[in-house]
Amino acid sequence: MEKSEKNEIRKWVKEQRDSLSVSSEAQWDEAICARLLELEEINRAFCIYCYASMRHEAGTWKFMDLLLKQGKCVAVPKVSGKNLDFYVITGKSDLEEGTMGIMEPKESCLKINDTSSPVIVPGIAFDKSRNRLGYGGGYYDRFFEKEPDHRRIAIAYEFQIFDTIPADPHDKTVDMIIIP
């Protein structure tokens, strides 16, 4: 039952994201970006690990641009087998289409290993206990298993927050969820 319940949630959230108006999405991404930039852990950090948003996910592009303008280090994940590695980027031109059509750092980017960097975590759905439902690959769960000290900051739109979502023992929770 749980797997089909997870898939039902994924399907519903994707439909909600796909029906978003361009102006709502832009407004919400702007609000999320502003809230992220107010966070102590973001301002204190040398490097921020952040996913490259796509397919109407809560947007990260403006946030990454502003971090780069502040002189911060921004690192984006790249799939390596069953794992995620993070690479420093200087802008969108450092990215190319990778696994599952996700924008990933090019080979020329420098791999980084900063175990104290805050991580902006993607997800399909979250709940009030800070459980996260991802896309089903387990990449972030495995990453946080290996590197548990990162501050995990999820960003989402309000319709992605549920009272409860199914969670497995190996699923990693997030420390905080930022919504517009």
Query: Which residues, 6+ apart, have CB-to-CB distance to 5 below 8 Å?
Result: 166
Does pLDDT of 138 surpass 80?
Answer: yes
For residue 8, the surrounding DSSP H or E stretch is helix 2-18
In angstroms, rounded to a whole number, what is the distance separating the alpha carbons of residues 86 and 10? 25
Q: What is the pLDDT of residue 98?
A: 84
* Total domains, the chain: 1
For residue 79, the surrounding DSSP H or E stretch is strand 73-80
| Torsional class of 119: left (φ above 0), alpha (ψ -120 to 50), beta (otherwise) | beta
- Give residue 36's domain range: 2-178
Does pLDDT of 1 surpass 60?
Answer: no
Q: What is the pLDDT of residue 10?
A: 93
Tens-digit pLDDT profile for residues 2-48: 678 899 999 999 999 999 999 999 999 999 999 999 999 999 999 99
Share of the chain above pLDDT 90, in %: 83
Does pLDDT of 79 surpass 70?
Answer: yes
**CA angle 104–142–179, rounded 5-degree value:** 70
Q: What is the pLDDT of residue 136?
A: 82
What is the rounded average pLDDT for all residues in the chain? 93
DSSP 115: T
pTM of the model: 0.93
CATH number at residue 123: 3.40.50.10420
Q: Kindly state the average pLDDT of the residues 118-142.
A: 93
One-letter amino acid of 12: W
